[in-house]
Chains A and B, each alone.
Chain A
C-alpha cells in the first residue's frame, strides 16, 4: 500500500455543452468551454508548475509560477486564470518561461526558511516540489534581506499549527475558508510585503474558525500543518474509508504509519464531500486508539457474569448457537436485526442479508425508521422508491432550498458548506424547523428565511401535513403528477435514469476526472472498490442514512 496522491488539475472542472480545441506544446486537446489552460494541459498529461492554484478553489492568479506563452498575445499570461479558447496555441515549456518561473521561485525562497530537512512538511510540500521542478539552484538576493522568518507561530488550535514564517501568502487558506467552508474566518491583513494571513485579527482558537481543516488541506507549505504530522512525521500509506460520524458519509483517506493513523484527510473522490470535511471526521479520530475501545471479542452468558475475552471463532459460534436456541424455543420470528444510521449501506445490506438468509424472517430495520418512515413512504408513493433522487452535488443547481427538520450546520456540516456556497450564489433558503438553525441565521435577510407571523420557525410536521393536504385537493396531482414533474423517472430497464441538469453535471464531472486520471496519473484509484455499485449506493445513502 502506498500513500494516495490525488491529482490536482489546478482549477475547478468546468461543465459546458460546448467544447474548445486548442494546441498545447504541439498537441491538440479538446476541453469544455471555460476550462483553464492549466486544467486543459493537465488533462493531456502536462503538469504546469503552480502554487496558488488548486482545483478545489477558483483560480486566483497570484503566484505567477504557472505563466505560459500564447501565440499572438503579449507577455506571459497565467495559465490558471486564462480560459482555453478555440485555436489557441500555447507553449508551457521553453527557456524564457523557465527563466521567469525560476525568477518567481527565487523571490519566494529569498523569504522562506531553509529548513526543509527538519520541516514537518518535508516531502509533502508544494513549494519544495515546485522549486525542484523549476530548477532553482541559487537565490542571488541572498537571505539577509527583509523577511518574515521571525513571524510568530500560532498553535492555539488543538489540531493544527499556523507557522507564519513559512507562509507564501498564496491565500489558498483564506479562499478555502470562504469558498469551500463558507466560514470566512480568515483574511489577509496589511498589503504588499506586510500582507499576512490573519484569523480575523486574533488567534485561530479565538476566531470564527470551526476547525474544518479546509485551510490545512489547501496550504501548499508547512504553514498550516496537522499537529499529528508535526509529532509523528509524514504518513506512508493511505486507507480509503467512510467517516463514522454523521449521515453525510464523507470519504476519507486514513493516512497511516503502520497501524497508526497520522491524519484523516478528506478524499476528493468522495461524492458526498468531494475533498471537504468537518472537524469531526478530520480531527476527532482519537477514538481509534481510545483505551475504552473494544478491540477483542468478549462474551458473557448472563448480565451478571463478567465479560470474558474469546477468539472470533468462539464468539461467532456462540452468538449463532444462541440465536438458534432462542428461535427453537420461541419461534422463527423471535429474533431480528436493526442497524444504526451510522452504518454504511454495505453494513446495513449485510445485516438484512443475514436476517433474511440466516434468521429466515423479515425482522430487519434501520434506526432511520424513527424519523424517516414518513419521507420514505412519501418518496415511495410518489416516485416509486424511498431512496433519495438527488445527490448532494445537485444542490449546486437549486434556486430554492427547503430544509425541513434538519439543522445541517450542526448536524451535517459538510453538506451545509455546500448548501451555503449555493446560497452565496443567490439561492433562497427556507427553513422549517422548531429548532434554531445556525445556517439559516447566517443567511437570514440575504436568503429570505421564511418564518411564520409569530416569529417562530414553521413547524416541520405542520408544514408537511399542510402540503400533503394541499396536494390532495389540487386536481391532477398525486403520484402520477409527481412522477412526471420530478427529476427522476423510470428508465426502460426498470432502473432509474436521471436527466436533470444536476445529474448531467455529476456524470460529466466523473468523466472529466477519469480523463484527467488516465492522462496524468493512471491507476490512482488503487486500493478501494469503485464499481458500479459504488457510485449508485452513495447517492442512495445520502438520504437513506440519517439519524
Chain B
C-alpha cells in the first residue's frame, strides 16, 4: 500500500485539499489502487498548496500545487512511484525554498501526523520534556534564559525572565496561558503550528509548567480557527492518553493539564490582560499594569503568558540546549523567527529563519517579488500595528532592535507586501479605522482618538485645512502613543506615522489627483 501525505490545515483546505483528496480516492478506487492517506499540516509553502507527497524509496516526493483535475494525469504518470510530472518538485527537503530555512520550531510541521504521539516521538518529539522532567525548575528556566528566547507575540520580552518571575512568586496555584488569539492581518504561524504540530505546543507548555510550578494550562484561541481547535483538542487528548499530560506525567510525580478555550471574536483579546479577563469569563477589556500577569494573572495567580511560537520554541531549546538555540540569530535577537510572508507576493507562506536576514532577501528571494508583477511599493511588518517600509528600508535586518531603530516592529513576524497601486493614505486611515473597530473602549486616546484619526485623514486627503490638520494628526499620534492604556492604541500611530514619513505624497490632495493608485482605485 502506498502512503500519501496531504495537508489539511485551513490554508490547504481553502486551496482545495479536500477536493484533491476526494478526486484521489475516487480515481484510486477506479484504478483499484490501495492508498494509505495521512493528513498532515502544511509545510508552509502556501504557494505550493495543496502539496501532495508520496512515500517512495527515495523519500517523500512532493507535487504541487495540485488541483483535482491533475489527479488522473498524476496517476497516469505513475505518481505513486514518485515519477516525473510538471507539478513534481522532488523531495521537499531538497527544494531551496525549504532547504534554505532554519527550521527549529516548525521542523515537524507538515511532516508528521499531527495527532500521532508515536509519529511525534519518531521525529524527536518529547525529547525536551523528557530532559526537563529530570531537571530542577530553576535549571529549566535557566536553559530558556540561556537561549535568549524573547516573546514571539510581538513585545519581545525575554521569556526566561518572565518565567523566573512566575517561578519566584509564591502562590497556591499557577497557570500557563498560551496566547493563540492570532488576530494580526497577514499572520498564520500560530494556526499552522496548532494544525500541523500541536504536540510541540503541548510539550512547550508542559516544560513551562515544570519551570514555574504550574499545574494548569489554557490555550486561548480564536473562534475563526475551528480546525486548529479541533486538532489541538485531539492532540491534548492523545498526549493525555499516552501519559504526557495529566497526573504524574510519565511517572515523574509532576502533574499538568491543558484546556483549549475559544474566544468570541475580538482582536483586543490577543492583548494579554484582555485575554485574561476573557478567559475568566468577563468582557475582554485591558487591565492596567501593574500588577504584571506574571505576578497576578489568571484568577489573580502568577501566570506565564506566552505566544504559541514562544512556547513552541521551548521543546527544541530543552532538547538541544539553550546555547544551541542562541547560536542562531543576531544581536539580542536569538534563535529563529517564523516569518509569515503574505500580501501581494508571488510565493507566500511560512519561512522560519534565523534573525538577521533582510526584508529584501525575504521578499525578493523567498517571495519572488509581487504576485501582480507590478513594482514593489511598500511592506508592512508586524501586523496592522506595524510600520509601512518603503524600498529603501528593505535592507533592514530582521532583528527587534534594528526594526525599532527604523521606526517599525517585528511583531509576530507577519510581512505583508504591497505593489505600486497601494494608497498609503488609505492604509493610514485603515490603521485608525481598524483601531476604532477593535479598541476595547476602555481608554480615551484609543476609544475616541481612533475615530478622530479617521476623520482627520479624511479631511487631509480632501484638502481641508491641511496645515492645521497635519498638526492635529501629529498631536493625536503623539497622544495615542504616550497616553494609551495598552499597545493597541499605543502602536496604532506606527503605521500612520510611517506612511506619513515615507509616503508623504499620498497625503497631498493635489498630488493625489495624478497618482496611479488613486486613478486605479477610481476605476
Contact = CB atoms under 8 A, between A and B. Distances in A.
Contact of A107 (B285, B441, B448): B448
Interface string A64-103: 1101000000011010011100000000000000011001
B440 A78 contact: no
A104 B445 contact: yes
B447 A76 contact: no
A108 B438 CA distance: 19
Interface string B184-211: 0000000000000000000000000000
A279 B395 CA distance: 68
A375 to B, nearest CB: 37
A368 B443 CA distance: 51
B473 to A, nearest CB: 10
B290 A82 contact: yes
- Which secondary structure dominates chain B's binding surface? helix
Given A110-B448, A141-B456, A145-B452, A194 B482 contact: no
A100 B482 contact: yes
Interface in B268-307: 268, 283, 285, 288-290
B442 to A, nearest CB: 5
Contact of B439 (A100, A104, A191): A191
Contact of B452 (A141, A171, A190, A194): A141
Contacts of B439: 191-193
A61 interface: yes
A62 B444 contact: yes
Given A64-B443, A145-B452, A191-B266, A103 B479 contact: yes
Interface string B449-462: 11110011000000
Given A62-B442, A141-B472, A192 B483 contact: no
B484 interface: yes
A107 B436 contact: no
A145 B453 CA distance: 10
Contact of B447 (A99, A187, A195): A195
B445 A107 contact: yes
Number of chain A interface residues as a range: 35 or more
Contacts of B435: 192
Contacts of B392: none
Interface in A219-257: none
B290 A81 contact: yes
B455 A193 contact: no
A100 B472 CA distance: 13
B236 to A, nearest CB: 29
A192 B444 contact: no
Nearest to B472: A140
Contact of A64 (B283, B290, B472, B485): B485
A265 to B, nearest CB: 27
A75 to B, nearest CB: 6
B518 interface: no
A146 interface: yes
Interface in B486-506: none
A31 interface: no
Contacts of A179: none
Given A62-B444, A107-B448, A81 B482 contact: no
A110 B455 CA distance: 12
A427 B266 CA distance: 34
Contacts, number: 105
Size band of the interface chain B makes with A: 35 or more
By secondary structure, the A interface counts as loop
Contacts of A145: 451-452, 455
B447 A169 contact: yes
A61 B288 contact: yes
B441 A83 contact: no
Given A75-B482, A111-B448, A140-B472, A192 B455 contact: no
B420 interface: no
Contacts of A194: 441
A188 to B, nearest CB: 6
Contacts of B478: 100, 103
Contact of B444 (A63, A82, A141, A191): A63
Contact of B483 (A81, A100, A141, A171): A100
Contacts of B476: 103
Nearest to B488: A192
A148 to B, nearest CB: 10
Given A61-B485, A103-B479, A146-B455, A193 B450 contact: yes
A421 to B, nearest CB: 16
A323 interface: no
B30 interface: no
B455 A104 contact: no
Given A108-B444, A111-B448, A195-B447, A59 B290 contact: no
A285 interface: no
A194 to B, nearest CB: 7
A60 interface: yes
Given A111-B448, A169-B447, A104 B479 contact: yes
Contacts of B438: 191-192
A510 to B, nearest CB: 28
B475 A60 contact: no
B479 A195 contact: no
B437 interface: yes
B403 to A, nearest CB: 17
B445 A187 contact: no
A76 B482 contact: yes
**Most chain B CB atoms below 10 A, which of A99, A107, A145, A187:** A107
Contacts of A78: 288, 485
B436 A192 contact: yes
B217 to A, nearest CB: 24
B31 interface: no
Nearest to B481: A75
Which 7 A-B residue pairs are closest in the complex by CB-CB distance? A61-B288, A195-B441, A81-B288, A192-B439, A103-B479, A107-B448, A64-B483
Interface of A: 59-65, 67, 75-76, 78, 81-83, 99-100, 103-104, 107-108, 110-111, 140-141, 145-146, 168-169, 171, 187-188, 190-195
28 contacts: A60-B288, A62-B443, A64-B444, A67-B482, A78-B288, A81-B289, A100-B478, A103-B483, A104-B445, A104-B483, A107-B449, A110-B452, A111-B448, A141-B452, A141-B456, A141-B472, A146-B451, A168-B444, A188-B283, A188-B285, A191-B440, A191-B441, A192-B437, A192-B440, A192-B451, A193-B441, A193-B447, A194-B441
Given A145-B452, A193-B436, A193-B450, 7 more contacts: A63-B444, A103-B445, A107-B448, A140-B468, A145-B455, A191-B266, A192-B446
